[in-house]
């Protein structure tokens, strides 16, 4: 790699490009040359089919996986929540970058008064079953409509279609300076596992690049997101399942919240667990088993039917 720039693979949306440029800047600060290589994913090319009908997480990652395996790029930058928890390929996550705001947020062009009026049968847009289920659990009289596209496209759609609002990851809006569109932070909604975190993926036999990129790893974010992804993996839930998980650290204690719901929001199982940080590994799996024992296993089975 001596003398050659590190080829950073990314999708070409504004948010994905911002994330790749962030990694590039960190590597350049360490004295490495970089170049961006843009790769189109299935999820970028098909903007009409609901994500849940496109096979889940792989729709945004497979094209970058292929580019890595074919040596067209040296590393790929992902939103960590897009990565499957099972990876049979000879690729590894060598760094998890420091997390941005993990919360979900509401963009409501005409304001949020409708949230306080139980008589309003509002229409709210999201393509996420997790967001759909939690929203309907809280607002059962509302209607959820599907929305696809990158951040900018979805912001335009929520204005043009006259919907009451749409749900966005706060991190994405903040990273590209669009957080002035946020009408409310949904502090009550449990985010997707690893939401707000970026992952750097490389070939597992590329020891030099593993060493270089491992310096970008943020240990606290890596621990918390790892526990969240443990839960998702243990529940065998996949991207489209209505499962949320969030871990954070306070005073040397790791606090972990998780939720699993029916897609229509009519049934919800939730859990909160804590452990000392040095004993926290495995907490996600323990929480998953408790949720499954409560009855959440039936939710996952329902989804597969």
At 92-128, the pLDDT tens digits run: 999 999 999 999 999 999 999 999 999 999 999 999 9
281: tokens are 């590994």
> Cβ of 231: how many Cβ atoms within 10 Å?
28
The pLDDT value recorded for residue 191 is: 98
Domains and CATH numbers, the chain: 6-99+197-217 (3.40.190.10), 104-185 (3.40.190.10), 231-304 (3.30.160.40)
Axis-axis angle for helices 151-160, 14-29 (nearest 10): 150
pTM of the model: 0.90
45-70 mean pLDDT: 71
68-87 mean pLDDT: 95
Top pLDDT among 144 and 150 is at 144
Q: Which residues of 94-132 are buried (b: 16+ CB within 10 A; e: fewer)?
A: bbbbebbbbbbbbbbbeeeebbeeeeeebbbbbbbbbbb
Calpha distance 166→158 (Å, rounded): 6
82 catalytic per annotation: yes
Point out the least confidently predicted range of 68-77, 199-208, 228-237.
Answer: 228-237
The pLDDT value recorded for residue 138 is: 97
At 27-47, the pLDDT tens digits run: 999 999 999 999 987 655 555
> Cβ of 295: how many Cβ atoms within 10 Å?
11
The pLDDT value recorded for residue 238 is: 46
Residue 239 — very low, low, confident or very high, per pLDDT cuts 50/70/90?
Answer: very low
69: tokens are 């395996």
List the catalytic residue out of 65, 66, 74, 82. 82
Q: Is the pLDDT of residue 49 over 60?
A: no
φ and ψ at residue 143, rounded to 5 degrees: -110, 135
What sections of 94-169 are H helices per DSSP? 129-138, 151-160
Across all residues in the chain, what is the average pLDDT?
91
> Are 284 and 228 a contacting pair, CB within 8 Å?
yes
> Are 257 and 272 a contacting pair, CB within 8 Å?
yes
In the 8-state DSSP scheme, what is residue 299?
H
- Name every residue whose Cβ is closer than 8 Å to that of residue 223 and which is 6 or more positions away in sequence: 247, 249, 254, 277, 280, 281
């Amino acid at each position: 790699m001596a003398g050659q720039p590190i080829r950073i693979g990314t999708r070409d949306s504004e948010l994905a490009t911002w994330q790749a440029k962030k990694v590039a800047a960190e590597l350049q600060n360490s004295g490495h040359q970089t170049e961006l290589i843009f790769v189109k994913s299935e999820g970028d090319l098909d903007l009409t089919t609901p994500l849940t009908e496109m096979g889940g997480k792989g729709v945004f990652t497979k094209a970058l996986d292929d580019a890595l395996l074919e040596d067209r790029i040296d590393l790929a930058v992902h939103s960590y929540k897009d990565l499957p928890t099972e990876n049979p390929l000879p690729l590894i996550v060598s760094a998890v970058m420091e997390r941005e705001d993990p919360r979900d947020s509401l963009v409501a062009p005409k304001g949020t008064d409708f949230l306080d009026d139980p008589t309003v049968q509002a229409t709210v847009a999201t393509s996420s079953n997790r967001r759909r289920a939690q929203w309907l659990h809280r607002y059962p009289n509302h209607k959820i409509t599907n929305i696809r596209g990158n951040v900018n496209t979805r912001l335009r759609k929520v204005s043009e279609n006259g919907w009451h609002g749409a749900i966005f990851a706060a991190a994405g809006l903040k990273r590209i300076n669009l957080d002035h569109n946020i009408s409310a932070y949904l502090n009550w909604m449990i985010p997707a596992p690893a939401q707000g975190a970026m992952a750097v993926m490389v070939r597992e036999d590329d020891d030099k690049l593993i060493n270089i990129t491992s310096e970008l790893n943020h240990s606290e974010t890596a621990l918390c997101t790892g526990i969240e992804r443990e839960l998702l993996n243990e529940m065998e839930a996949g991207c489209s399942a209505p499962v949320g998980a969030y871990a954070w650290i306070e005073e040397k204690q790791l606090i972990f919240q998780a939720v699993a719901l029916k897609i229509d929001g009519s049934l919800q199982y939730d859990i909160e667990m804590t452990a000392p940080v040095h004993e926290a590994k495995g907490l996600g799996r323990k929480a998953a088993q408790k949720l499954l024992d409560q009855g959440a296993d039936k939710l996952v089975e329902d989804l597969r039917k």
